Amino acid sequence: MDAQNETGANRAPASWWQTGVIYQIYPRSFQDGTGDGIGDLPGILSRLDYLADLGIDAIWVSPIFPSPMADFGYDVSDYVGIDPLFGTVEDFDRLVTAVHGRGMKLLLDLVPNHTSDQHVWFRQARASRDNPKRDWYIWRDPAPDGGPPNNWLSEFGGSAWTLDAASGQYYYHAFLDRQPDLNWRNPQVVAAIHEVMRTWMRRGVDGFRVDVIWHLMKDAEFRDNPENPAFAAGMNPYARLLPQRTTDLSEVQDVIAGLRAVVDEFPERLLIGEIYLPVERLVAYYGAELKGVHLPFNFALLDTAWNARALDRLITTYEAALPPGGWPNWVLGNHDRPRIATRVGPDQARVAAMLLLTLRGTPTLYYGDEIGMANVPIPPERIQDPYEKNVPGLGLGRDGVRTPMQWDDSPFAGFSDVEPWLPVAADFSEVNVAAQRGNGHSMLTFVRRLIALRRAHPALLVGDYRALAAQGDLLLYVRTLEGAERVLVALNVGPDPLVATLPGTVGEVLLSTFCDRQDERISGEIALRANEGVIVGVAAGAVLPE
């Protein structure tokens, strides 16, 4: 289906993932249901009504598989089980049933690039050079000087090669040395991961977010990566080289087409790819004839300068780069990057939410952003993140965006009855769900109303996007569903009031970031307060500028 080009009454029903809002849960930090200070499946189950009330359509849960937790679940030791830390397979089945019973979908994190070094596959692979599982991973002889085979670097610091003393060969790991990379050139690996996917979809899983999907293929000749001429002191050491031989190889598209074919064996399933690439490369991951991932995660909002002109250029560039029929998507935060409220400030966080939920495409909301949670400073003695431990002093640690969800003002923010695995924010007694739920002007109330408004207006769900001419801190665009409706969005991405001049009567305000101005008639101009955005239902016959 080409949802972009179908219009009005002739438009076929869009897929659930095109009209839905996805909500990411970092399971260790959402809700502790067993009293050990770590979030789990029973905890998620207990909070499903909150998510349904918020208006969420799909829940994406970060890894819950058995793991030694060297990288908190992204080092998988069994792809088809549930780590006891999070619960049981029976807990998972109950969660699937409960999610579906509330009309929502459930997505899992698939980590196919690497396993834990404790996975039975790797234990067999390192047992001897002639073990049948040896070629399931990437092994190379030492360089002539006895060092690593080439200059490839780990994203988590240092060489990407670790010597296995027993066999005298190095194995490759794009991340921790406890996360050896699988060899996706081996058809047995391909078949094994495909069967993992089928196993979970048979249990009712509605799709996958695929971790570091652009890493899956590496140069078959193991050539060095070139030096990065832009590298400078103080940058992440990984940036010293350009990863041309280790990421984004053209061959990865065939691998992804195989993943998509498996997903397509089951009706209405979704495949998302984690891909940190520029827009012009990102869109290649829709694949030939749109047989790649349904949604290559678009992280551009995480790095774009927060000003109206930069945002306008980004949106226009992205829309133009999409292949015919490619469905857009937008992300403001995740478990790896600074929270939006910290990045742009609490006032602009509301504007950011309005942007996320009114742009064309599928939005993904990170847990806690709906109440304005910010990065939490982590005392040195409580740092958990291996990234921060391996590459200290550069502000790369991710613990501060993974802190416990703030539910109420009770001890430990209602997340747990005991000290959580990470500290709660100092402001949890004010910034929490219970405090905001009854406040008609709170961030939570605003986001709930915003999602409801999005659902109520087809133009916001599946309508076209058109940028309108604007200057300075004003970002102005219209969502149009031919023959149905038009919705105007005006965002003040700045700290001073401004006025948007428009010809004649436009319509009525549907929602303001301040949760007021409802039904205010707009004619000739829109006066925006500092850090304000408004959504306006455009009257029939009203003329909008180009």
Catalytic residues: 211, 265
Q: Are 160 and 154 in contact (CB under 8 A)?
A: yes
In order, the DSSP letters of 340-369 are HHHHH-HHHHHHHHHHHHHSSSEEEEETTG
75 closest CA partner among 39, 107, 41, 118: 118
d(CA 196, CA 73): 16
Distance, in Å, from the CA atom of 267 to the CA atom of 230, rounded to the nearest integer, reads 46
Report the relative pairing of strands 161-164 and 207-210 from DSSP bridges.
Answer: unpaired
Q: Is 288 in contact with 253 (CB distance < 8 Å)?
A: yes
Q: DSSP character for 70?
A: T
Look at residues 79, 108, 289 and name the one whose alpha carbon lies nearest to residue 196: 79
> Could you tell me the maximum CA-CA distance found in the chain, to the nearest angstrom?
79
User: Could you tell me the two tokens for 389?
Assistant: 């431990």
Element (H, E) at 88: none
Taking each helix axis from N to C end, the angle separating 187-202 and 252-263, rounded to the nearest 10 degrees, works out to 30
Rounded distance, CA 270 to CA 248, Å? Answer: 21
Three-state SS for 459-508 is: HHHHCEEEECCCCCCEEEEEEEECCCEEEEEEEECCCCCEEEEEEEEEEE
Kindly list the distances between the CA atom of residue 230 and the CA atoms of 226, 236, 239, 241, 391, in Å, as whole numbers in the listed order. Answer: 12, 12, 9, 10, 20
Question: Which residues contact residue 32 at a Cβ distance below 8 angstroms, ignoring those fewer than 6 apart?
Answer: 38, 39, 40, 43, 404, 415, 416, 417, 418, 420
- Residue position matching structure tokens 């909008």: 544
